[in-house]
A and B are shown apart, each in its own frame.
Chain A
Amino acid sequence: MFPALIPLIPFISALLLMAGWKRFSRIGVTVTGCGSIGLAAVIAIIIAMQFSANGEQAIVQHAGNWLEAGGFKTGFDFRMDALSVVFVLVITIVGFLIHVYASGYMHDEPDYARFFACMNLFVGAMLTLVMADNLLLLYLGWEGVGLCSYLLIGFWYKDPANGYAARKAFIVTRVGDTAMAIALFMLFQYTGTLSIPGILENSTHVWSVNDGMITVIALLLLGGAVGKSAQLPLQIWLPDAMAGPTPVSALIHAATMVTAGVYLIARTHTLFELAPAAQTITAVIGAVTLILAGFSALVQTDIKRVLAYSTVSQIGYMFLALGCGAWSAAVFHFVTHAFFKALLFMAAGAIIVALHHEQDMFKMGGLKNRLRGVYWVFLIGCASLAAIPFVTAGFYSKDQIIWLSWSAAGGHVGLWLAALLGALLTGMYTFRMFFLVFYGEEKTKVHHQPGNSMMIPLYILAVLSTVAGFIELPHTMGHVTLFSNWLQPVLPAVSVLHESLAMEWTSQALSALLALSGIGLAYAWVVKHPKGMSDFLEMPAIMWLRGYWSRGWDFDELYNVLLVRPFVYLSRINRRDLIDTLYTGLGAFMEWCHNVLARTQSGLLRWYILSVVLGAVAILSVLIWRIYL
């Protein structure tokens, strides 16, 4: 089997759908769009099985030359190793489920083919990103993902707000992309290659630990990752990206796009190990982001925005893990997160469709008995997100991160406390959403039940969100290390400083307790004492805080003041284009000369004679001056 087929099939399908969207019937589009991803998933599974059976380090396929200039050569090299296999499997399987779901969700959409073309392209680009063997190909996928996010967030382009959200996503991630491109140039300059294994191998010869240059490069790479993964300075685009259709949100949040940053850092972990400062910054960014986003999620009214902020928060956990050096823990959390976040988004989409495209949670309620199936899968998703102990996948992955944020070599008590606070917040906002939607009195009538094509992917994901956790169990409970063993060839094991069973127990108990108390608080807040809570929430200071959080800590406003307004102001000053004035001035001068000279052609005979005389006087003057004076 050829690894190159995996990204190629979605690309071909996207091309077919784009070129012949008028010729395809609705069923044809569904079969092509979903089938291509399904086929890619099947191929991915076969290759993964071959791969695990062979015990090879990596399968690399050179699918063709791309650029060849002088000594520089780069090609379409696709690489399957332990890390990319994990990503490819998640992307294709979750992506396939989302596609199937989308065929039901977007059933009444007139631009059905365009939607599936973009979705396929999105998955193809993401697969290119995670399978690239050199950084240039990775960058191609990286930019392709950005482009597709633009196309899909602005899918309903007739509403200007959607176009605005799409542009915002594109431009904000572009800031990170630029940082990453610079990092690429620097890496090429210093290591002389763009091949990822080559860079990782050379880097240890070129740089020593804590070298200034490698720190800069690592920080630039981090900048790129932060942009795509919506972490602290560049997180503002993700909540607005909810403008796209719900399957797109699921795809962006679960399988593609936002996890690209996690992948990039995991892939270039050697560079980050050489730059402990950058690694620490990664951890701090992750910790701060997960708390800020947690608070923002707590006060949202739009169900999709809660999920968006929860994604930012969960990716914060992954960055925290990466920053602590717990590479496989981050990837593990990515896997479980992909399952339960896709599940949550698609369940939320089912609710939204059932309620006539109502997204405000305060207008929902009492859906427990109306949407039984959705209720159960949503509960499983929420439980996994809130990390309810023992039965959910989210518990095992998040718990590992929380424990390692203290015990790992790069860990710190502060990071650990932040992670614990995050656990409490996650429990609160998740179940606040859950109780608001499914309990209380019924405010909006359910108008139709989601069909099979939407429910079956949800059931599958619900199962995965539960069992995926059992492939990696902590020391205290069974000590299963299937996942980290799998990743061992690519990602080194975390170096644990504080090996203490008692402490680990304490940490786990604390995080479980905090998650459960978060749920309890949400229950008290939403179901038990809505009156008392609303009195508390109506207090002016609290109101102000709520507004502040719900606007995402006013980062948008901050960037407006710091960047957008000065830029607009400067461009207004330069409206006439200062540099261009030189050239327009030249043109104007010529035109002026033309006008002056044209006026001399008056047709007046005396004027002509006068010019002749003037010329004669001038020539004679020059002659006399030259010869006699």
Chain B
Amino acid sequence: MINFDEEIKKFHPSLEIDDTEDAIYNSSVTDMTDIMLELMEEMKEN
């Protein structure tokens, strides 16, 4: 059985076009390579 209230909570407003810039800035740009480099830096320091 579907719970309407629960289901409706899963829907989020779509980003507006004017908010594209913020969306880009706030997007996570860290990937595995960055993590690997961080680890290598830490290892070097240690």
Does B associate with A? no
